[in-house]
Amino acid sequence: MDPFEIDPDITAASTLHADAYRDPARFEASRDRIFARSWQLLGDAARVRTPGSASPHTLLDGMLSEPLLLTRDADDALHCLSNVCTHRGTLVCEGDTHAQQLRCRYHGRRFALDGSFLSMPGFEGARSFPAPSDSLPKIPLERWGRWLFASLRPAVPFAEWIGDAQRRLAFLPLDSFAPEPALARDYLVQAHWALYVENYLEGFHVPFVHPALSAALDPSGYRTELFRLSSLQVGIAASPGDAFTLPAGHPDHGQAVAAYYWWLWPNLMLNFYPWGLSANVVTPLAPDRCRVSYLAWVLDRSRLGTGAGGALDRVEREDEEVVESVQRGLRSRLYSRGRYSPKWETGVHHFHRLLGTALR
C-alpha cells in the first residue's frame, strides 16, 4: 500500500495514510526531493541595502542548513552565493558586514562580491589554477516587492511559482510595506511539518478552534482557489470596515475581503491583511517536530490589531495545540486514513497530491 496514493477525485479520495507522517525515510527523502528544489523566503531586501553589503543566511536551518551569503556589489547588483570557501570549506562571512571584497579568515582566499575568485596566497605552483570551481557557487535569487527568494535547485521558474499571487495582489504597494520586528517570533511545534501545512490549508476548523477569528469572518463567503503550486483562501469580513479597499477591475472588487491566505509549495504562507503581511515559514526538523517562523511587514499601522489579522499569536497557539493533538493521534494502531470534505478540504487534497508526486 502506497501511503501517498491519492485519488484525483476528492469525492472518492482518502487522505494520506498515517505511515506518510511516521516514516523517517520519507522525511529524509523530502530534504532533496522537496526542499532543496523549492523557492524559499530569505527575508527583506533591506538587509543588503547598499553596495558593499554582505549578510549571511542559513537556508531552512535544521532541514537544509545550507550556508548562503547575500551581497550587493559595487554596481548595485544583488547576489546569493554559497557562504562556504572553495578551498577548505570554511564559512566565508560569519556576520553582517560592509566591504569591497570577501576574504576567508582561514587561509586568506579572496572573492569579489559577486562570488568571483580574486586571489589566494601559497598557490603559485598549482596547475590549472584558478578554475571556475574556485569561485563561490551562485544560487538563483529573485525579488518580489521587498522580499528576496532563493532556491538551491529550483524545480520551476520563480515566475511560475509566484505568478498567481503576484497578479492577484498587484493592487498592493508591496515596496511600501515596512518590517515589524516586534511581531516576529518562532514557534516550536511538536508535529510533522505537513500536518501544520494541512491545518493552514482549510477553514473547516476555524469555527471549532478559533472563536475570535471565526467572529471576524463571514463563513458564507469563505472559499479556496487552487493553482498549480499554490492555493488561496479568501476570507470575507464579518464587518466591512475590516476589509481591503479593492480597485475597480480587481477579481474580488465589491467583496469585503478581510484576508488573502496564500500558501506556496511547499512551506510558505503569505497572509495579507488590510494592515500588512504576516508570513509563516514552516521548517521541518524531524518527523514529529517543526519550527514555524512568523515574520511581519506593516502597510497601515492604524489597522494593526483589527479584523482577521488582529490576534496572530492567539491563533497560532490554538493551531499549535490542535496540530500536536493530531500528531499524537497518528501514533494510534487503530487509525490509518480519513476522507476529505469536498467543500472545505480542497486545499489539503491538492497539497497531498503534490506531496505524492514529489515522494512516491
Which tens digit of pLDDT belongs to each residue from 177-200? Answer: 999 999 999 999 999 999 999 999
Q: Are 345 and 353 in contact (CB under 8 A)?
A: no
Instruction: Say which CATH topology domain 40-150 has.
Output: Rieske Iron-sulfur Protein (2.102.10)
Domain with CATH 2.102.10.10 in the chain: 40-150
| Average predicted confidence (pLDDT) for the chain | 96
Helix (H, G, I), strand (E, B) or coil at 122: coil
User: What averages of pLDDT result for each successive group of 10 residues across the chain (360 residues)?
Assistant: 89 96 95 98 96 98 98 97 98 96 98 98 96 98 97 98 97 96 96 98 92 89 96 93 93 95 98 96 98 96 89 91 97 96 97 94
183-to-261, 276, 297 alpha-carbon distances in Å: 18, 12, 9
Supply the DSSP symbol for 183.
G
Pairwise CA distance, residues 307 & 217, whole Å: 8
Crossing angle of helices 193-200/346-359, nearest 10°? 150
Tens of pLDDT, residues 93-134: 999 999 999 999 999 999 999 999 999 999 999 999 999 999
Domain with CATH 3.90.380.10 in the chain: 167-359
Q: What pLDDT, on the 0 to 100 scale, is given for residue 1?
A: 66
Pairwise CA distance, residues 192 & 167, whole Å: 32
Using DSSP, how many helices (H) and how many strands (E) does the chain show? Answer: 8, 18
Pairwise CA distance, residues 121 & 134, whole Å: 13
Tens of pLDDT, residues 262-273: 999 999 999 999
CATH of the structural domain 167-359, one choice from 3.90.550.10, 3.40.50.2000, 3.90.380.10, 1.10.3680.10: 3.90.380.10
Q: Are 244 and 274 in contact (CB under 8 A)?
A: yes
Q: Point out which residues pair with 235 in neighbouring strands.
A: 259
Pairwise CA distance, residues 143 & 41, whole Å: 10
Q: Are 23 and 287 in contact (CB under 8 A)?
A: yes
Q: Are 106 and 90 in contact (CB under 8 A)?
A: yes
The residue behind cell 500536518 is: 195
